[in-house]
Structure 1
Amino acid sequence: MILYRVPFLATFLVIVKATATNTNDADVTRASSAEYVQSSPAWLANVKVPTNVVTQLPFDDEIKAGPLPKEPFKLDLNSYPKPNKQPPVDHPEVQAVLKHLDFSIIPKSKPRIVKDWVFDMKDYNRTDPDCWWSSSLCKKPKVSYLPEDISICPNKGTWGLNYDDGPYKMWWPTSEKQKEYDQPRFYNYLVEKGKQKATLFFVGSNVINFPEAAQRSLSDGHTICSHTWSHPQMTTLTNEEVVAQLYWTHKAIKETMGITPKCWRPPYGDVDDRVRAIAYQMGMRTILWDQDSNDWNLITGRLKTEVVDNFFKGWVDNRVSGNDTDHGHITLQHENSNMTIQMSEKWLPILQKTFKVMPIHQCINDPHPYWEESWTYPTLDVPEPPRQRSSAGNLGANTSMASSSYYSNLAEAILNLSLLGFAVAATLI
């Protein structure tokens, strides 16, 4: 108990409330209006988290290249939907999430119609009332409480490094050669290239199929975001199907890595305000991109390696020549095949010489990509976030740095008041 002498408690409460709001801006993303305040997903509160993973950002000297552990991480796969399939909406866990959401403030637009991966847009209003990215590349929602999609790094010369569709493992290899690019090959490569960190958009089906690689990515200091359960075009789904896609991915990530991401990326960039609103109520903000490497077309055979090389060469040349000065970039890349991984390994050293390469949350100055307060990542303003070593290195360190910061600011506010002659009794936990 710390006692300060003060009669004007009402004034104290106003000041402390302002301090607390500023402190928690990174942890509770407030809407631009009073319509909706985003909060941690309550339906994940009882998910059992693993005990063999890091619980705060690792120090660089703790990050090592090497193989995955020989002992597999055991998940009850029977408790999850079938991988790479649309999860059923009548599952009790999905129904529980639906009860938490306020559908009265979710746009009523109908699911889109698609045939052979092409959307039917003949009857869609050209004014784009739904901010449908697939129609107009819209990134600024028309719904007042939704924040603008993250699609660029604000500072020129920065490169928000990110990879979709991991963790990568060939599902049905027919030879050892085909497994050569399975993780942690690329994660080891990133370690060897200056312990480079990236934002990884994980598919839930891949997380449960390859949990050891997912855990490895976290212990390497990468930032993890959701990329849905089975990678569908999200605007084609019903509200309930959208919830199922996001819920099972969130659960797989939390049960495997112990984290709850505040970020997600819609497959193919396909998102509108209806889907954004559901994701936002489920605790996530939408992240897109401003440059597409088209490396995913290497798998389909639609593009040759030389074409994708020319995209990267053009971006590098533009920066070197001084013509790329408006803002930094978030470039769409993938870790979903031998070819995309080869392309990434080829160009990363060149990007590192040309740009300041970093994860997306670092380039946008957001230190808290998860709802768990013990995770604080580097930002441009604070490149070395406060961390605490445990006796076993970083594993099992359970300190809440964000919480500590809050109480530190609270104590400072009380002390400042005491110097003015006010008084209050406060207990710091």
Structure 2
Amino acid sequence: AEVITGCKAAGTFAVTYDDGPSILTSGLLDYLDEVKVKATFFINGNNRKNGDTGNPMLTIYELADVVRRAYNSGHQICSHTWAHTDLITVSEQEVVYEMTRLNYAFSKVLGKVPTCMRPPYGDTDGPSRKILYKMGYTVVNWNVDPVDWNPVNSIDEMYQEYVDQTGSTSPQVGKFISLNHDVWNTTADFRPESYPRTIPLAKRSIDYLLGRGWRVVNLAECLQSQPFYREPNPSDSKCGTKACV
């Protein structure tokens, strides 16, 4: 098995959002509903690195309604580890722990467990991939990166990355997966105090893609697959702060 970086279906564009859920996600879902676009969310259980964004850090349990809403709306939910841990820096046991702790949360929040995942930072190596494949995951990175995770970049610069990286490809044949983050205000702030005065990257990029004639789809459609979920099973065990029961 290999790490997937692009769609399989010609003319599809999967817009993906990492590191949530966050307090911005529900506003992003409102916008996606409005334009009738299905996206993909690579979700963490408890991402303490989101402190950089200036927004409160909330867990998957605290934002369970938002995760359920995204799932029920037809967006693909995928795993991004419990704590946004770089999987090439930890032991094999810790890789299993990071995935299992989040699987348990998904089993409680959704009653389903995603079988798609993205490793934080896009980082995997032979040993971590072996574990992920054994656990049944499809591992998905990206081939379009607007660098929206770097707060130094303006929305104009991020938007220009979309244009530069995809603009010369025909929307009839291209096969793109873009990396975005629904935790940064520049990407996903649809709150009335900033929007529509400031148009976030999510709207600018998707409006641009739709205007060019792309089919903007969720990951399952982009990979010509059934939705990436399975039923919970006994391996999705409850985990403490260090290990799973």
TM-score tier, shorter chain, comes to 0.7 to 0.9
Larger radius of gyration: 1
The offset of 1:326, in angstroms, is: 6.3
Residue 163 of structure 1 aligns to a residue whose secondary structure is strand
CA contact (8 A) 1:204 1:250 kept: no
The offset of 1:240, in angstroms, is: 1.2
Any residues of structure 2 matched to 1:12-411 within 5 Å, and which?
147-169=1-23, 182-194=24-36, 196-205=37-46, 206-298=59-151, 301=152, 303-319=153-169, 322=170, 327-341=174-188, 342-354=200-212, 355-372=214-231
- Bigger CA drift: 234-243 or 276-285? 276-285
User: How far apart, CA to CA, are the structure 2 residues paired with 1:183 and 1:259?
Assistant: 20
CA contact (8 A) 1:152 1:327 kept: no
Q: TM-score, normalised by structure 1?
A: 0.46
- Number of matched pairs: 208
User: How far apart, CA to CA, are the structure 2 residues paired with 1:317 and 1:291?
Assistant: 11
After superposition, the C-alpha distances for 1:119-141 in whole angstroms (9 at most, x for unaligned) are xxxxxxxxxxxxxxxxxxxxxxx
The offset of 1:296, in angstroms, is: 0.7
Residue 166 of structure 1 aligns to a residue whose secondary structure is coil
User: How far apart, CA to CA, are the structure 2 residues paired with 1:256 and 1:249?
Assistant: 10
User: How far apart, CA to CA, are the structure 2 residues paired with 1:152 and 1:313?
Assistant: 17
User: How far apart, CA to CA, are the structure 2 residues paired with 1:280 and 1:258?
Assistant: 22
User: How far apart, CA to CA, are the structure 2 residues paired with 1:315 and 1:149?
Assistant: 20
Q: What letter corresponds to residue 344 of structure 1 in structure 2?
A: A
Partner of 1:12: none
The offset of 1:183, in angstroms, is: 3.1
CA contact (8 A) 1:233 1:268 kept: yes
CA contact (8 A) 1:316 1:351 kept: no
Query: Unmatched 5+ residue regions in structure 2?
Result: 47-58, 189-199, 233-245
After superposition, the C-alpha distances for 1:177-225 in whole angstroms (9 at most, x for unaligned) are xxxxx3311111100112x111111101231231111111111111111
Which one has more relative contact order, counting CA pairs under 8 Å at least 6 apart? 2
Q: TM-score, normalised by structure 2?
A: 0.79
Q: What letter corresponds to residue 224 of structure 2 in structure 1?
A: N
Distance 1:315 1:370, change over 3 A: same
CA contact (8 A) 1:153 1:328 kept: yes
After superposition, the C-alpha distances for 1:261-294 in whole angstroms (9 at most, x for unaligned) are 1111001001012111111222212111112111
User: How far apart, CA to CA, are the structure 1 residues paired with 2:2 and 2:124?
Assistant: 12
Q: What letter corresponds to residue 103 of structure 2 in structure 1?
A: H
Partner of 2:54: none
CA contact (8 A) 2:144 2:162 kept: no
User: How far apart, CA to CA, are the structure 1 residues paired with 2:172 and 2:2?
Assistant: 22
Residue 101 of structure 2 aligns to a residue whose secondary structure is helix
Q: What letter corresponds to residue 139 of structure 2 in structure 1?
A: T
Q: What letter corresponds to residue 162 of structure 2 in structure 1?
A: F
